Amino acid sequence: MDRKSVGLVQSHTYTFADADEPLVLESGKTLAPVAVAYETYGSPNADRSNAVLICHALSGDAHAAGYHHPHDKHLGWWDGMIGPGKAFDTDRYWVICSNAIGGCKGTTGPASIHPKTGKAHGLDFPIVTIRDMVDVQQRLITHLGIERLYSVAGGSMGGFQVLEWALRYPEKVRSAICLASSARLSAQGIAFNAVGRNAITKDSAWAEGHYEGDGPENGLAIARMVGHITYLSELLMDSKFGRRLQSADRLSYDFSTEFAVESYLNHKGNAFKRRFDANSYLYMTKAMDYFDIERSYGPLNRAFADIQARFMIVAYSTDWLFPSAQSKALVHALLACNKDVSFIEVDSPYGHDAFLVEEDRLAQIMAAFLSGGEKADVLGGHS
The catalytically annotated residue of 89, 135, 319, 353 is 319
382 is catalytic: no
Pairing of strands 23-24, 30-31: antiparallel
317 is catalytic: no
24 by DSSP, 3-state: which? strand
Residue 268 backbone class (left: φ over 0; alpha: ψ -120 to 50; beta: rest): alpha
Phi, psi for residue 266 in degrees, rounded to 5: -60, -45
Cα separation of 206 and 212, whole Å? 9
319 is catalytic: yes
325 by DSSP, 3-state: which? helix
Cα atoms in the 13 Å half-sphere on the side-chain side of 89: 11
Task: Compute the C-alpha angle 277/280/284, nearest 5°.
Answer: 140
* Contact (CB, 8 A) for 149 and 140: no
Cα separation of 217 and 240, whole Å? 27
The catalytically annotated residue of 112, 121, 352, 353 is 352
Amino acid at 382: H
Cα separation of 288 and 278, whole Å? 16
- Residues 6 or more apart in contact with residue 224 via CB below 8 angstroms: 59, 196, 268, 269, 272, 273, 276, 281
Burial of 3 (0-12, 13-18, 19+ CB in 10 A): exposed
Phi, psi for residue 30 in degrees, rounded to 5: -120, 160
The catalytically annotated residue of 59, 98, 156, 327 is 156
Question: Active-site residues: which are they?
Answer: 156, 319, 352
